[in-house]
Amino acid sequence: MTTPTAVALEDAKVAFRLGDGRVYTAVEKAHLSVAQGEFVAIVGPTGCGKSTLLNVAAGLLKPAAGSVKIFDQPLAGLNRDAGYLFQADALFPWKTALDNVAIGLEIQGAPRAEALPRAQKWLTSVGLGAFANRYPHMLSGGQRKRVALAQVLIRDPKILLMDEPFGPLDAQTRQVMGNLLLDLWNADRKAVLFVTHDLEEAIALADRVVIMSAGPSSRIIGDWRVTLPRPRDIFEVRLDKEFHALHREIWSVLKDEVMKGYAQSTQAVEAV
Amino acid sequence: MSRVTLLALQVLVAVVCLVLWQFFASVPVFGKILLPPFFFSNPVDVFSQIVKWFSSGVIWKHLGITLTESILAFVIGSAGGVLIGFWFARQPLVAAVFDPYVKMANALPRVVLAPIFALWLGLGIWSKVALGVTLVFFIVFFNVYQGVKEVSRTVLDNGRMLGMSERQLMRHVYWPSALSWMFSSLHTSVGFAVVGAVVGEYLGSAAGLGYLIQQAEGIFDVAGVFAGMFVLSAFVILIDFGVTLVERRLLVWRPTVDGRG
């Protein structure tokens, strides 16, 4: 018996045309699949095209070659099964926290009277029940991420795509957010594709850690299974022996790529 | 500094100026009056002129006309600016084609249009409204255009990923963004609506504050000119205050406005 595949990238290649007419290949022949209920983290050095790969899975970018399948169906246009959590602030600044969360339901046609109580419930479950009437600029970075998480989850997407969602936050807030994410994820185990440059975060959260080589033309160069027991607590899991062994093993591969990545990023054109 | 002290100092400035003005206009210094009343009038005359206007009630008609013209100019100019701004921002080809003409029209000093408008629309309120519209339109137009163009890429992608259709993006993303830019220029555009009305009246009309000032000037009634100017200033300050109130309500979500939601 096999679990259905939520996201499958088959030999996906992503290329951009640069301003001067040259073609920049960001990702070469990426082969990656995420099973239903699986939490996969993509880790790679800066500029390796991991966000690019995520955008391909979201349908925001079209691969130059290869194919993208969502639940075995070829992806055309935007990925309607996916919720996307962005690295930068993506909340609507002119809507209150409550309206920002409710909008996900309203655009599906839910009446406002029905959307608002559900949005309030989601705000409460991300710990912001008392902040419903605040506008994004009145919230801290971590609080905005919580609202964004609620905004995505209220639509109950089958797949969660996350692009370094906790990147801009400070170290403690990241861990708190990581635990919150795991708690929410544990409730219904969506397929998750989580991009990060933080290897520790990746191991602590994911079932599988995928490593990409330094760009340009980066490839997937490693795929580790994380067998740490669930439910996990991010603060605790970092003290685990298995965690350290895995971290050492993956880091030995990742380190070279990070060095290459830095060397290249000082000369190559950054294409994001 | 407390508010009371500040207010006291502000009033003091006015009092000193008025006293100096009155003094030099009525008391000879070294046998010469420095501010001849024929050219400079004096605060007492100006003030009594203002009182006369208000007590007889003639001023209300003129204020009403100028206010009507300003409001019409603002509403029509804003509506046009929003519509065309939106259209241009969403249709880059249209924007590119019309770009030189928009620049040309905007570069034209609007005062020269006044005679044409008077010719086309007569001496009633509509020629003044038209002049105000040409001023307001461009301010709103450029702001809305900018507002739609500069919607954050991430916010837009987020809207798409949340499943918004093109129409819903319009309503939930482009429209609020454009409006916020328009409102940020509210003071300027309202001010220009008044400028259009008054300049239009000054150049040819039968009523309004600009007409009042122009009439007084025509008979060398300097007190009347100054009185008109003071009433006009007070009028503009009142309108500006109203705009501030509206702005506070509408832009609560913006970090720059010191209101809270």
Domains of chain B: 1-40 (no CATH), 41-250 (1.10.3720.10)
Q: Which residue of B has its CA nearest to A137?
A: B255
Q: How confident is the model at residue B155 (pLDDT cuts 50, 70, 90)?
A: very high
Q: For the CA atoms of chain B, what is the radius of gyration? A: 23
The band of B37, judged by pLDDT with boundaries at 50, 70 and 90, is confident
Q: Residue B259 pLDDT > 80, yes or no?
A: no
CA–CA gap between residue B238 and residue B234 (Å, rounded): 6
Of residues A90, A84, A2, the one with CA closest to residue A38: A2
Q: CB neighbours (10 Å) of residue B108?
A: 10
Distance CA A231, CA A178 (A): 12
Cβ–Cβ gap A104/B163 under 8 Å:
yes
Give pLDDT, residue A265.
67
What lies within 8 Å, CB to CB, of B198 at 6+ separation is B66, B208, B209, B210, B213, B232
Does B260 score more than 80 pLDDT? no
Spatial neighbors of A81 by CB under 8 A, at least 6 apart, are A6, A70, A71, A157, A158, A159
Confidence of residue B258 (pLDDT cuts 50, 70, 90): very low
What pLDDT is stored for residue B128 in this prediction? 94
For residue A43, the model assigns a pLDDT of 92
What is the sign, positive or negative, of the torsion defined by CA atoms of B100, B103, B107, B113? Answer: positive
User: How many angstroms away from the CA of B148 is the closest CA of chain A?
Assistant: 14
In a mutational test of the B interface, the residue from A96, A101, A107 whose CB has the highest number of chain B CBs within 10 Å is: A107
Nearest alpha-carbon partner for B133 in B179, B69, B184, B88: B69
The reply to whether residue B154 touches residue A155, judged by beta carbons under 8 angstroms, is no
CB neighbourhood size of A115 (10 A): 22
**Interface check B260 vs A, CB under 8 A:** yes
Work out whether the CA dihedral B166, B167, B171, B177 comes out positive or negative.
positive
Q: What is the pLDDT of residue A217?
A: 82
A107/B161 CB distance under 8 A: no
Share of chain A above pLDDT 70, in %: 96
Q: Is the minimum CB–CB distance between A139 and chain B shorter than 8 Å?
A: no
**pLDDT of B49-100, one tens digit each?**
999 999 999 999 999 999 999 999 999 999 999 999 999 998 989 999 999 9
What is the pLDDT at residue A267? 65
Count CB neighbours of B2 within 10 A: 7
- How far apart CA B224 and CA B217 sit, in angstroms, is 8
Phi-psi group of B21: left, alpha or beta (phi > 0 → left; psi -120 to 50 → alpha; rest → beta): alpha
Q: In what order do the strands lie in the sheet with A208-212?
A: A82-85, A159-163, A191-196, A39-43, A208-212, A220-225
Residue A189 has pLDDT above 80, yes or no: yes
Res. A235: pLDDT tops 60: yes
Write the residue in A78, A86, A93 that is nearest to B253 by C-beta. A93
pLDDT tens across B219-229, in order?
999 999 999 99
- Yes or no, beta carbons of A90 and B164 under 8 Å apart: no
The Cα–Cα gap between A128 and A95 comes to: 15
Q: How many Å apart are CA B191 and CA B237, to the nearest integer?
A: 10
Are B158 and A155 in contact (CB < 8 Å)?
no
Q: Do B253 and A78 touch (CB under 8 A)?
A: no
B36: left (phi over 0), alpha (psi -120 to 50) or beta: beta
Q: What angle do CA A158, A9, A213 make, to 5 degrees?
A: 115
Angle at A238 between CA A237 and CA A243, to 5 degrees: 85
Across A257-271, average pLDDT: 70
Dist. CA A155–CA A152, nearest whole Å = 6
Q: Which residue of A has its CA nearest to B151?
A: A92
Closest CA to A34 of A165, A183, A180, A190: A190
Q: Which chain B residue is nearest to residue A138, measuring alpha carbons?
A: B255
Whether B156 shows a pLDDT value over 90: the answer reads yes
pLDDT digit string, tens, across residues A101-153:
999 899 988 899 999 999 999 999 999 999 999 999 999 989 999 999 999 99
Contact B157 A94 (CB under 8 A): no
Of A153, A152, A177, nearest to A234 (Cα)?
A: A177
pLDDT reported for residue B178:
86
Percent of chain A with pLDDT over 90: 47
- What distance in Å separates the CA atoms of residue A104 and residue A110, rounded to the nearest whole number? 9
A131 touches chain B (CB under 8 A): no
Residue B185: its pLDDT value, please? Answer: 84
Q: Is residue B261 pLDDT above 50, yes or no?
A: no
Q: What is the mean pLDDT of residues B139-167?
A: 91
Mean pLDDT of chain A: 88
pTM: 0.79
Q: For the packed helices B125-149 and B175-184, what is the interaxial angle rounded to 10 degrees?
A: 120
Which tokens hold the place of A88? 């930068």
